[in-house]
Amino acid sequence: MKLKGFGTSDTARGLTLIAPPALFALLLLAVPLVAIFAFSFWSQDFLTIDYTPTLKNYREALSEPLYGQLILRSVLIAGAVTLTTVVLAFPIAYFVSFHVPANRKSLWIFMITIPFWTSYLIRVFLWKVILGYNGVLNSTLIGVGIIDEPLTFILYNANAVVITLAHAFAPFAILPIFVSLEKIDRSLLEASRDLGENHVMTFLRVTLPLAVPGVVAATLIVFIPTIGDYVTPRLVGGPGGLMIANMIQTQFLKLNNAPMGATLAVIAMAIVTVIALVFIFLNRRWLKARS
Amino acid sequence: MTGRGGWLRGYAVLYLLFLYAPIILLPIFAFNDSTIIAFPLSDFTTKWFTEIPNTPALVRSVQTSLIVAVTTAVLSTLLGICAARAGARYSFPFKTPVMGFIMLPLVLPEIIVAVSMLVVLMALDLPLGSWTVVLGHTLICTPFCIAILNSAFGNLDVSLEEAAFDLGESRWSTFRLITLPLVMPGIISALLISFTISLDEFIIAFFLTGTEPTLPVYLWGQLRFPQKIPVVMALGTILVALSVVLLTIAEIARRRGIARAGGKDTGGFL
């Protein structure tokens, strides 16, 4: 029977189809990740690479205060960006999910995602224009008469990096929270209200707990790429706002010390993985405790 | 509910203003007759736009970027079709880990992707060039294509394919006559999204580009020279306008696709 033929060797067909993308990812992602791990145990003397395995790079990374400072700052900035972005994004996701009519929702989501697809480089540069000493924000505030002197704490430091990245990653936070809010069964909210809870308690005891998976996803999606951001710290961070990616780039392209750059990249990846795993673990525990 | 929605709506408008602030400022400075990017504005001018075609290095970088972006879009959409089809239609051993690994670049800091590829290319002594940028971009665009195409293939009614197969079509002609037209809007939207991502991507291009810089890499070099900034603003304005048009087409294609497959619009690309 033909119809039966349609269903046979599904596994083989699936494997044939998945092979090209899987092989591509294997060659261009798995092999490079293994290579960078190997590089971190080698050393480089000008242009020749010494292949004797050594822990020298890791010792240097852990003992040299500059590296430690950059890593710590990257984690702190990425943490601050994540917190700011998620806290600012939640009310928007809530508004679109609960207060926008169903037929207008995808328009709102579309409007939120548009700025994200426009040139990242130019957007970051424009934040420099907005936050600068003679920038748009300062001249507006002085013009309106709110301040007399230009604000200087908003450019060429960690604050500028946080503001700019909170802008750049806004849709990454809004979308997962929106999706989790959309999944909430609205009758649960009615039930809570019927049982005598007010709006605030309903939000705290029903909506917020049910939105936790979205908030967790948003946190991870924002935290992971921000820790490795290069452009923003370089353009608006000043000397006090530089992050680990800037040092990785310097090691690779300026100091010609690929093994040290590889070591820093491996350490950055390790930190990201550990933080992400801890976060996922806590989330699992929390979900289990509730059910 | 409307009473509570009141201040939320106000907040939403402020937030949109925050999101759109850089994009609103871009054209203002692009038409401003001054090399200083600050208020107050000088006269209106279009000279920064006319300067674009007269800057050969800029034109070359646009050409490089377009070639890279088109190649990336085609490659990553093809890989995305394979993966999304396999994921939606078939089961095979290690499906979840394999799919997860292909999606990994979505959550990996781009600098990690860039330097790890650079390390391999250095170790193999291969020359850097546009093709290395294409490989890097295809790697990060494929997960986005899969995410878009997953819903296209997921919404597909298998009984339509079975009917065609049952009526004597071959597997390939079934795919060409039934499946492809149904998922075409998803394919178009995947092509456009990966094109847009590649055109805009900086870090991977910065590390893996050879002697022919892509547009973002060229722009990065120009940001150091204040007198070059207005031209960058003009070019940025054109790029923003172009992305908005492309995204609108992608969004219309996506919605049409959902409507055609009889699915429900859940909103958004992701």
CB A39 within 8 A of CB A45: no
What is the crossing angle of helices A56-63 and A258-290, to 10°?
Answer: 70
CA distance B116 to chain A (A): 5
Q: CA–CA distance from A216 to each of A5, A177, A219, A290, B222 (Å)?
A: 44, 9, 5, 16, 39
Domains present along chain B, CATH in parentheses: 31-260 (1.10.3720.10)
Task: Indicate the pLDDT class of residue A157, thresholds 50, 70 and 90.
Answer: confident
What is the crossing angle of helices B180-200 and B229-260, to 10°?
Answer: 160
Peptide bond into A171 cis (omega under 30): no
Structure tokens at A198: 């007010």
User: For residue B15, which residues of chain A lie inside 8 Å, CB to CB?
Assistant: 88, 91-92
Nearest to A6 among B16, B91, B162 (CB): B162
Determine the Cα angle at A268 with ends A266 and A274, to 5°.
100
Predicted pLDDT at B81: 94
Predicted pLDDT at B269: 44
Q: CA–CA distance from B255 to each of B143, B189, B258 (Å)?
A: 20, 10, 5
Tally the residues of chain B: 270
- pLDDT tens digits, residue range A43-99? 877 667 777 888 888 988 888 889 989 999 999 999 999 999 999 999 999 999 988
- Name the percent of chain A lying above pLDDT 90: 31
Predicted pLDDT at B70: 96
Pick the residue of B103, B119, B207 with the most A CBs within 10 A to test the interface with A by mutation.
Answer: B119
Interface of A with B in 98-157 (CB under 8 A): 98-99, 105-106, 109-115, 117-123, 125-127, 129-130, 132, 134-136, 139-140
**A122·B232 Cβ contact <8 A:** yes
Determine the Cα angle at A92 with ends B253 and B152, to 5°.
25
User: For residue B16, which residues of chain A lie inside 8 Å, CB to CB?
Assistant: 111-112
**For the ranges A146-150, A184-188, B115-119, B181-185, the one whose mean pLDDT is highest:** B115-119
Q: Which residue ranges of chain B lie beneath pLDDT 70?
A: 1-5, 39, 261-270
User: For residue B18, which residues of chain A lie inside 8 Å, CB to CB?
Assistant: 167
Nearest CA to A106 out of B144, B153, B247 is that of: B247
User: For residue B98, which residues of chain A lie inside 8 Å, CB to CB?
Assistant: 18, 22
**B25·A130 Cβ contact <8 A:** yes
Mean pLDDT value across residues A14-21: 90
**B101·A30 Cβ contact <8 A:** yes
Homologous superfamily in CATH for domain A66-290: MetI-like (1.10.3720.10)
One-letter amino acid of B215: L
What are the DSSP calls for chain A, one per residue?
-HHHHHHTTHHHHHHHHHHHHHHHHIIIIIHHHHHHHHHTTSEEETTEEE-S--SHHHHHHHH-HHHHHHHHHHHHHHHHHHHHHHHHHHHHHHHHHHHS-GGGHHHHHHHHHGGGGS-HHHHHHHHHHHHSTTSHHHHHHHHHTS-SS---TTSSSHHHHHHHHHHHTHHHHHHHHHHHHHTS-HHHHHHHHHTT--HHHHIIIIIHHHHHHHHHHHHHHHHHHHHT--HHHHHHSTGGG--HHHHHHIIIIIS--HHHHHHHHHHHHHHHHHHHHHHHHHHHHHHHHH-
**B135·A28 Cβ contact <8 A:** yes
CA distance A12 to chain B (A): 8
Pick the residue of B19, B110, B245 with the most A CBs within 10 A to test the interface with A by mutation.
Answer: B19
Domain boundaries, chain A: 66-290
Mean pLDDT value across residues A29-41: 92
Predicted pLDDT at B262: 62
Pick the residue of A18, A57, A169 with the most B CBs within 10 A to test the interface with B by mutation.
Answer: A18
Core vs surface per residue B86-95: b (16+ CB within 10 A) or e: bbbbbebeeb
Predicted pLDDT at A110: 85
Mean pLDDT value across residues A29-42: 92
CA distance B16 to chain A (A): 7
The answer to whether residue A206 neighbours chain B at the CB level (below 8 Å) is: no
Question: What is the C-alpha to C-alpha distance for residues A267 and A67, in angstroms, rounded to an integer?
Answer: 10
Predicted pLDDT at B2: 45
User: For residue A253, which residues of chain B lie inside 8 Å, CB to CB?
Assistant: 207
Interface of A with B in 157-196 (CB under 8 A): 167, 170, 175, 178-179, 182
